[in-house]
């Protein structure tokens, strides 16, 4: 039994490392060769639990990994990119469905309409373009007259609001993030104490804006606190 448990731990660890080596793109944009590699690795990783020939299985994992790396290099060539990954397909153009492209892509109208609704466009007339990407996702470009008005449309200059950087997660200080804003843990503890939270263990989440070093504290119990140079309107908005 101990040998079996050790085998499970070893194979699980190796599979995690190998799939990690495939890169984030293998999950962010799942192409045909990404999916094939993941399926093969998962199958090869579990198969040794049913037999004793570990060496042959590790060889198979290495071969699949090398094949995936080879395919990721080959798709950099334009003509192979079209063959291995494919090209985007325009399913809707100027508010009109392209039936032939829809059928050729084997993408049903029901799925298309559902995707449009999920994207906030229940009316096809509001869609300038709907493009089926090679990774299976649909990119939606709305008509100009239904695009939400932004400060840029009104020629308004907006002040930089800053980015909240997590400095405490589940009661633990994120030292690297604190260093990103040019501060240290001592300073953070002083700010928390000034905000009425001297014990870091009582803070479920805390973030600091890089613009003015204002502090947001969430206890995880339905209470949110703000400390620093923030206006009351900003606090209510957050």
End-to-end CA distance of the chain: 54
Q: How far apart are CA 26 and CA 45, in angstroms?
A: 18
Q: Are 180 and 167 in contact (CB under 8 A)?
A: no
Q: What pLDDT score was predicted for residue 4?
A: 58
In the chain, which residues have pLDDT < 70? 1-9, 11-13, 15-36, 41, 44-54, 56-57, 60, 75-76, 78-86, 135, 228-238
CA distance 97 to 138: 14
Report the alpha-carbon distance of residue 173 to residue 33 in Å, rounded. 40
d(CA 188, CA 176): 12
Q: What is the pLDDT of residue 85?
A: 62
User: What is the predicted pLDDT for the residue at 186?
Assistant: 92
Residue 238, pLDDT score: 44
Q: In DSSP terms, which residues pair with 218 in a beta bridge?
A: 205, 224
**Nearby residues of 113 by Cβ (< 8 Å), 6 or more positions away:** 124
Q: How far is CA 234 from CA 161, 228, 230, in A?
A: 10, 12, 6
- Predicted confidence at residue 143, as pLDDT, reads 92
Angle at 34 between CA 30 and CA 40, to 5 degrees: 135
The pLDDT of residue 17 is 66
Q: What is the pLDDT of residue 22?
A: 59
The pLDDT score that the predictor gives to residue 142 is 92
């Amino acid at each position: 039994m101990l040998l079996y448990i050790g085998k499970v731990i070893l194979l699980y660890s190796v599979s995690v490392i190998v799939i990690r080596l495939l890169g984030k793109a293998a999950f962010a944009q799942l192409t045909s060769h990404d999916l094939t590699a993941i399926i093969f690795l998962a199958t090869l990783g579990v198969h040794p639990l049913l037999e004793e020939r570990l060496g042959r299985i590790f060889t198979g994992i290495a071969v699949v990994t090398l094949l995936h790396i080879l395919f990721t290099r080959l798709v950099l060539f334009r003509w192979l990119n079209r063959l291995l990954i494919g090209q985007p397909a325009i399913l809707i153009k100027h508010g009109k469905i392209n039936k032939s492209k829809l059928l050729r892509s084997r993408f049903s109208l029901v799925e298309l309409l559902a995707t449009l609704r999920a994207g906030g466009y229940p009316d096809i007339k509001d869609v300038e373009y709907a493009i089926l990407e090679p990774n299976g996702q649909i990119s939606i470009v709305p008509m100009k007259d239904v695009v939400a008005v932004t400060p840029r449309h009104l020629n308004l200059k907006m002040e930089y609001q800053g980015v909240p950087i997590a400095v405490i997660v589940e009661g633990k200080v994120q030292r690297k993030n604190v260093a990103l804003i040019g501060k240290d843990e001592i300073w953070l503890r002083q700010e928390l104490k000034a905000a009425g939270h001297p014990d870091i263990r009582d803070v479920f989440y805390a973030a600091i804006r890089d613009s003015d070093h204002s502090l947001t504290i969430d206890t995880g119990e339905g209470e949110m606190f703000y400390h620093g140079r923030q206006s009351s309107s900003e606090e209510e908005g957050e």
